[in-house]
């Protein structure tokens, strides 16, 4: 198998994100991710998102653990992403909140 260049790998990843952006409805999105990921992978992604949302809302670890079933290690990793990541969660949460009319005190 020929060796691929690093930039070629990045183009493939970029294409996947372009594919996600091309989805137009919730149904299309669910169908795409059902095809792309295993049930276990989807549940893990959904759980991390739920943990991030709850951390962002100010819930404590024990409440999050009880509600989501996430391990303390998962909660800690998500918390690290919220505090030191690329602000992806923040972008999404602000857009979702704006869409539903939720206004946060620190905005």
| Domain assignments of the chain as residue spans, ordered by start | 1-36, 46-107
User: Taking Cα atoms as reference points, which of 36, 31, 1 lies closest to residue 16?
Assistant: 36
pLDDT tens sequence across 41-87: 999 999 999 999 999 999 999 999 999 999 999 999 999 999 999 99
Listed in sequence order, the DSSP H helices in the chain are: 6-22, 26-36, 39-56, 61-68, 72-84, 88-100
- pTM equals 0.81
Residue 75: Cβ within 10 Å count: 23
Average pLDDT over residues 29-43: 97
**What CATH architecture does domain 46-107 belong to?**
Orthogonal Bundle (1.10)
pLDDT tens sequence across 6-24: 566 655 678 999 999 999 9
CA 73 from centroid of its chain's CA atoms: 17
């Amino acid at each position: 198998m020929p060796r691929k260049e690093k930039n070629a790998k990045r183009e493939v990843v970029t294409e996947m994100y372009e594919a996600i952006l091309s989805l137009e409805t919730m149904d299309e999105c669910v169908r795409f991710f059902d095809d792309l990921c295993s049930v276990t992978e989807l549940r893990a992604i959904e759980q991390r998102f739920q943990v991030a949302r709850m951390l962002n809302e100010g819930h404590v670890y024990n409440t999050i653990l009880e509600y989501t079933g996430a391990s303390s290690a998962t909660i800690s990793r998500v918390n690290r992403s919220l505090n030191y990541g690329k602000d992806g969660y923040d972008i999404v949460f602000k857009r979702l909140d704006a869409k539903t009319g939720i206004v946060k005190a620190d905005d």
